[in-house]
Amino acid sequence: MNVILSIRPNFCKMIFSGQKKYEYRKRVFTRSDVDKVYIYATKPICRIVGYFTIDEVIEDKKSYMWEKTHKDGGINKEYFYAYFKNCDMAHAIKIGEVVKLDNPIDPKEVIKDFHAPQNFMYADFDL
């Protein structure tokens, strides 16, 4: 099983460069069989620009999460705590192998009634 995650273009660049090795989320998928994440770059790109495999999904109290992952999280402490402001727990998806697509995909051309996911959407197909 795969998922599509909406990710801001600046963070997409950091993932492809290897600078960002954790993708933070307030909520993550509950299925244990998810192994590939398609990267949907949000506006102004609005395309699936690549994908990555999942090394692991970590859930912990946000203060512990920051200590464990901040060196490879691609964001500063203020941004991290603002993002998780009303959350006790934080999730981090540890990014494995990363592939950048040479030709980004317009998801509206391959997924019926596609709307950019607020957080993520399951995708039971390979692109």
Q: What is the pLDDT confidence band of residue 125, given thresholds at 50, 70 and 90?
A: confident
Count the domains in the chain.
Answer: 1
Is residue 18's pLDDT more than 90? Answer: yes
Cβ pair 42, 7 in contact under 8 A: yes
- pLDDT tens digits, one per residue of 100-124: 999 999 999 999 999 999 989 999 8
Q: Give yes or no for residue 16 having a pLDDT over 90.
A: yes
Mean pLDDT across 3-8: 97
Range of the domain at 101: 2-123
- Which strand (E) or helix (H) includes residue 10? helix 9-17
**Which CATH number goes with the domain that contains 46?**
2.30.130.30
In angstroms, rounded to a whole number, what is the distance separating the alpha carbons of residues 33 and 118?
21
Q: Which of 81, 34, 28, 85 is nearest to 59 (CA)?
A: 28
pLDDT tier for residue 9 given thresholds of 50, 70 and 90? very high
Rounded to whole angstroms, the Cα distance separating 49 from 38 reads 8
Residues linked to residue 123 through DSSP beta bridges, in sequence order: 2
